[in-house]
Amino acid sequence: MTSKWLKFIAIILCCCLAIGFSGCDGDEDLSSGSSSNEEEEVKIIKVGYIFHGGADEGGFTGQINEQRKSAAKYCSGKIDTYYIDHVAVADFESAVKALYSYGCEVIVSCSSVYTNSLSSIAGRYMNIDFINYGAISMGTANVTSYVETYYQGAYIGGVLAAYNSVTEKIGIVADDDMHGIYPVVNAATLGMQRVFKNAEMYVAGATKDNEIEQAIDALIERGCDVIMCYTESKHSADYCEKRGVKFIGGLDYSLSEEDYSRMIMYFYSKRDSFFLKRFKELQYDEWDRLPYMGTMANGIINISEALPCAKDESQKLIDYIAPLVASGQLYIFSGELKDTNGKVRYMQKDILSENEIYALNWYVQGVNVIGNYRQPHDSAENKFEVKS
């Protein structure tokens, strides 16, 4: 055997002795490492939701609650979600504290009515990440803003409402607690005027079911033969059905279309993909703090097909207009816009930015506000029960 090979064997023996003296057996080390990986606990991330309405009452809040559950079930048990419902604006911070004490690291504010409250308290809870529904930007490091272009659906709804109208008078029952009342009403009016230039839109405000009934009765008395529903409660659709007036739905009725023989079509928001996106970011620690906008283009805002009570050719109108709106080829808020007094607010060459659209606090020409039927609402006693 050559001296070269003898030196090589000596080196190997020295290495083995060194390993032996250090007490590190190769096989034992591998098995202990494997055991450690198997025993390592998967971190469960808790996400809390704050609802303004009732989670089990259907309507806007009920649909967000279903979307919460739908997104969470695809996360292999790594995301646990909880909620507190019926939270008044004055009680928002107390609900935040309750969810945080329950272990929630992320809290979703599920109504635009909480925006001002969240803006003022977010800086005091920097160890919580918030998702705020209803503002394009909050300017706070721990708040991710989320808005929806509901007005795109309302515009198409306005076109269909006018096309199915005989009186050329369209009504909208609008809940001030819903996001973007001015953009939604204005877009619906502009859509209506695409069919009848001089058509009139009548607006009645309401939240509670008894208020909704008063508002719809008033709209019918004004001659409105098609009513658009933009309320937290689904009672607006139920009452239109009861009164026998045609209507456009502003919630997801995909599972109950057959219950409404007077519904022409409906537009709605499907947030499952947004929530799932955020949940996945949490799992992989890749939280995206940029504002998110749900649109027709990314599948958040959806339009139903024309339903049986709609006039012939209604589906052709949807098939023509919806792709143009979704692609941006038909931009709703562009060109000359006048307010209800006939004053020019934007010139023919103007194209409104999203910030300008959501900052609208006036109605376009053709809108008639007939009254707000909302009454003072007492805050229900809330013990902040955290539910899953």
Q: What is the pLDDT of residues 227-284, one digit of tens each?
A: 999 999 999 999 999 999 999 999 999 999 999 999 999 999 999 999 999 998 988 8
CA 128 from centroid of its chain's CA atoms: 20
Question: Which one, of 270, 259, 303, lies nearest residue 157 by Cα?
Answer: 303
Question: Which one, of 90, 122, 129, 73, lies nearest residue 106 by Cα?
Answer: 129
d(CA 93, CA 117): 8
d(CA 232, CA 207): 7
Averaged pLDDT, 164-170: 97
Averaged pLDDT, 29-38: 40
Angle in degrees, CA 270, 271, 276, rounded to 5: 135
Sequence-distant contacts of 252-261: CB under 8 A, at least 24 apart: 252/63, 252/302, 253/304, 254/304, 257/304, 257/307, 260/307, 261/308, 261/309
Highest averaged pLDDT of the listed ranges 77-91, 126-140, 308-322? 308-322
pLDDT digits (tens, 9 = 90+) for 282-335: 888 888 888 899 999 999 999 999 999 999 999 999 999 999 999 999 999 999
- pLDDT of 10 strictly over 60: no
CA 236 from centroid of its chain's CA atoms: 20
| Bridge partners, residue 227, by sequence | 171, 247
159, 187 contact by CB (below 8 A): no
Q: What is the pLDDT of residue 379?
A: 57
d(CA 13, CA 131): 61
Averaged pLDDT, 162-182: 96
d(CA 11, CA 166): 98
Report, in angstroms and rounded to the nearest whole number, the Rg of the chain calculated over CA atoms.
28
d(CA 140, CA 4): 69
Cβ-based neighbour number of residue 104 at 10 Å: 23
Kindly state the helix (H) or strand (E) to which residue 299 belongs, with its residue range. Answer: none
Share of the chain above pLDDT 90, in %: 78
Length of the chain: 388
DSSP code, position 260: -
| Mean pLDDT value across the chain | 88
- pLDDT of 377 strictly over 90: no
52, 114 contact by CB (below 8 A): yes
pLDDT digits (tens, 9 = 90+) for 90-126: 999 999 999 999 999 999 999 999 999 999 999 999 9
d(CA 350, CA 337): 9
* pLDDT confidence bin for 38, thresholds 50/70/90: very low
| Contacts of residue 199, Cβ cutoff 8 Å, sequence gap at least 6 | 162, 165, 168, 169, 170, 192, 193, 366
Half-sphere exposure of 334 (CA within 13 A, CB side): 8
Q: What is the pLDDT of residue 381?
A: 59
Kindly state the helix (H) or strand (E) to which residue 228 belongs, with its residue range. Answer: strand 226-230
Q: What is the pLDDT of residue 140?
A: 82
3-state secondary structure of 278: helix
d(CA 278, CA 116): 23
More confident residue, 141 or 344: 344
Cβ-based neighbour number of residue 209 at 10 Å: 14
- pLDDT of 148 strictly over 80: yes
d(CA 238, CA 260): 8
Phi (first) and psi of residue 165, to 5 degrees: -95, 150
Cβ-based neighbour number of residue 156 at 10 Å: 28
